[in-house]
Amino acid sequence: MDKKITIAIDGFSSTGKSTIAKQLANALGYVYVDTGAMYRAIAFYAMQNNLISKDYINKEKLIESLPQINLQFLFNPNLGFAEMYLNDTNIEKEIRTIEVSNFVSKIAEISEVRSKLVELQKQMGKNKAIVMDGRDIGTVVFPDAELKIFMTASSQTRAKRRFDELQQKGDTVSFEEVLRNVEERDYIDTHRSDSPLVKAENAIEIDNSFLTREQQYQKVMDLVNAILK
């Protein structure tokens, strides 16, 4: 019987976690879960329902609403990956904007939101054969994962990648705004009291500031093959 493992990928925003996670899942025939999309979906829900703005967040109302929030990943064969659905509506495009990015770390600080999503994530991975990326996968969701990767790159490099991505989508945004968003998210993610972003003890750190996608993929695939053998 083929050995099945759990691959946990953590790291800072815009380090290409989802790119490598999708590549691995496709190569291995594993399920891929983008936990960032789950937090983005809740941020989007809060925005739609006027529960969050630049200087205000109605935590109580959002926590009360959690039972009514149904999140699902549905596989899109044309794209080759699963898209995020909120209460049966595809919101994959809507959650990738800079507006949602500006709120997502604030939403992820809320313990009740984290515990709801961590519970869902643990369920998704109970049969292994999964690649999951996020901020607390190797530390909280799958502390026993066979392979833990921690992705990092300079904030300038990450902001440039994110800026290029948003420009390609036609979003009007300045590089300074993107850099500020990256740095603010880093600060919130690493300083929150509940499950802050930290490198798991046995995680392998990969700084991809100067790696091509192919080099990065090869590096990680070598680690996967070493475990599977």
Query: What is the average pLDDT score of the chain?
Result: 94
Confidence (pLDDT) at 171: 84
Residue-level pLDDT at 172? 87
C-alpha distance from residue 16 to each of 21, 129, 147, 149, 161 (Å):
9, 21, 17, 12, 9
What pLDDT does residue 82 have? 87
Give the pLDDT of residue 30.
Answer: 92
Q: Say whether pLDDT at 23 is over 80.
A: yes
DSSP 19-49: HHHHHHHHHHT-EEEEHHHHHHHHHHHHHHT
The token pair that represents 212 in the structure block: 């091509």
DSSP at 140: I
Question: pLDDT at residue 1 above 80?
Answer: no
- Among residues 2, 27, 34, the alpha carbon closest in space to that of 222 is found at 27
Mean pLDDT of 201-207: 96
pLDDT band at 81 (very low <50, low <70, confident <90, very high): confident
Which amino acid, one-letter code, is at 177?
A: E
